[in-house]
Amino acid sequence: MLEKGDQAPDFITTTENGEEIKLSSFKGKKIFLFFYPKDNTSGCQAEACSIRDNYDVFEKSDIPVFGVSGGSEKSHKSFIDKNNLPFPLLMDEKFE
């Protein structure tokens, strides 16, 4: 399990729009990754909305934000639309 400040292993995945994201492309930069179990559940919604409500802090610091869960593109798009999330959600369908 990763702890705050740990370097995450490199991975390649896609966003809810099919855009490929490779973690190593952000080498040398700070990014904010948050992991949540499932789209459209109350706890995950509260977590994502809390980050949304503080998104300007990340934006002003030029820190990209990505949510990561096992949801599908369709599920992620719905979650983003329902909660007006300003950041992409990444696929981790195998929970790796």
Residue 42 backbone dihedrals phi, psi, to 5 degrees: -60, -45
Place of tokens 């977590």: 47
**Catalytic member of 36, 44, 65, 76:** 44
**Is residue 49 annotated as a catalytic residue, yes or no?**
no
Residue 85, C-beta contacts closer than 8 angstroms, at least 6 positions apart: 48, 49, 52, 67, 79
Residue 43, C-beta contacts closer than 8 angstroms, at least 6 positions apart: 36, 37
Give the residue numbers marked as catalytic. 44
